[in-house]
């Protein structure tokens, strides 16, 4: 009787061990079917322009460096934006995003001053509004404690660049006030990688690094020293997503 009792107990344990994975799989399928596939994300980060060594030839900032007292790094600044994501599967997501960056940099001529010894001052300002479409790959899927991802896409970069202040006419060394502006849209690639962690059923927080490459055409504004504006660089961001 005792042997039969233990045999029955052992049979039940074995049956449970065999059924448990199937039950768990069924539970996962049921959860995955109801899992939200859409997400709205918000991000705040820091945009770093390409350095002097890697900027395109005839870049307007490189040309200005010969006479004006500033550094390209002075344009590095805070950026923010939002995005919409849709999970095509557990391992693929498509997304559309909108960002905003603007930085004004005060500067003066390196080797020239007004007759009274005061500086000849200007402000250089760059604004970039990227509109991006991306595809992301999640190597371990969307149902984990952490969700790493890599992705790529294309961006349309709406940009505006201006130089406002006093300038030197080197033909006669006269000083005059002026405003030079250029704007347009540039298209270029976007590559990204990130890591996010779900919090509860609908929230996720994480971090992301993104690289972009694009060039604007400033040749229509004759007062600018360069014919291009290099919009490439790196953005490191903190992200928050709301899933629904």
Rounded Cα gap, residues 179 and 223, in angstroms: 9
Q: Which residue is associated with the tokens 């250089």?
A: 124
pLDDT by residue (tens digit) across 176-222?
999 999 999 999 999 999 999 999 889 999 999 999 999 999 998 98
Nearest to 178 by CA among 193, 198, 164: 164
pLDDT value at residue 201:
86
Show Cβ contacts of residue 186 under 8 Å, excluding neighbours closer than 6 positions.
156, 157, 159, 214, 215, 216, 217, 231
Block means of pLDDT (10 residues each) for the chain, 244 residues, are 41 39 39 74 98 96 96 98 97 98 98 94 98 98 94 98 96 94 98 96 96 96 94 98 96
Rounded Cα gap, residues 98 and 100, in angstroms: 7
Taking a C-beta distance cutoff of 8 angstroms, is the pair 57, 40 a contact?
A: no
Nearest to 78 by CA among 99, 56, 64, 53: 99
Burial class of residue 176 in the structure, from the number of CB atoms within 10 Å of its CB (0-12 exposed, 13-18 middle, 19+ buried): exposed
Residue 194, both tokens? 């990130």
Pick the CATH number of 36-243 from 2.40.160.20, 3.90.45.10, 2.40.10.340, 3.30.230.10: 2.40.160.20
Taking a C-beta distance cutoff of 8 angstroms, is the pair 93, 138 a contact?
A: yes
Q: What is the pTM of this model?
A: 0.83
97 forms bridges with which residues in the sheet? 83, 132
pLDDT value at residue 34:
60
Q: Which helix (H) or strand (E) segment is 1 a member of?
A: none
Residue 175, both tokens? 């000083």
Rounded Cα gap, residues 201 and 143, in angstroms: 11
pLDDT value at residue 132:
98
Nearest to 120 by CA among 130, 137, 104, 108: 108
pLDDT value at residue 35:
76
Per-domain residue ranges of the chain: 1-34, 36-243
Rounded Cα gap, residues 215 and 73, in angstroms: 18
pLDDT value at residue 2:
42
Taking a C-beta distance cutoff of 8 angstroms, is the pair 93, 135 a contact?
A: yes
Taking a C-beta distance cutoff of 8 angstroms, is the pair 196, 95 a contact?
A: no
Q: Which residue is associated with the tokens 């849209």?
A: 185
Taking a C-beta distance cutoff of 8 angstroms, is the pair 212, 153 a contact?
A: no
């Amino acid at each position: 009787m005792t042997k039969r009792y233990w045999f029955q107990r052992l049979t039940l344990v074995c049956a449970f061990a065999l059924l448990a994975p199937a039950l768990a799989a069924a539970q996962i399928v049921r959860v995955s079917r109801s899992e939200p596939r859409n997400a709205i994300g918000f991000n705040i980060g820091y945009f770093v322009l390409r350095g002097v060594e890697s900027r395109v030839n005839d870049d307007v900032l490189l040309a200005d460096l010969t006479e004006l007292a500033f550094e390209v790094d002075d344009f590095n600044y805070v950026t923010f934006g939002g995005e919409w994501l849709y999970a095509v599967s557990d391992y693929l997501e498509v997304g559309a995003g909108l960002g905003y960056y603007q930085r004004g940099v005060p500067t003066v001529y390196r080797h020239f001053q007004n007759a009274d010894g005061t500086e000849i001052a200007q402000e250089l300002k760059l604004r970039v509004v990227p509109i991006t479409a991306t595809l992301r790959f999640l190597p371990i899927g969307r149902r984990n404690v952490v969700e790493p991802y890599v992705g790529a896409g294309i961006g349309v970069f709406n940009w505006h660049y201006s130089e406002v202040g006093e300038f030197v006419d080197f033909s006669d060394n006269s000083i005059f006030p002026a405003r030079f502006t250029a704007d347009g849209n540039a298209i270029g690639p976007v590559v990204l990688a990130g890591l996010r962690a779900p919090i509860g059923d609908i929230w996720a927080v994480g971090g992301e690094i993104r690289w972009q490459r694009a060039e604007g055409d400033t040749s229509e504004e004759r007062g600018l020293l360069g014919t291009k504006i290099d919009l490439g660089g790196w953005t490191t961001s903190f992200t928050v997503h709301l899933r629904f």
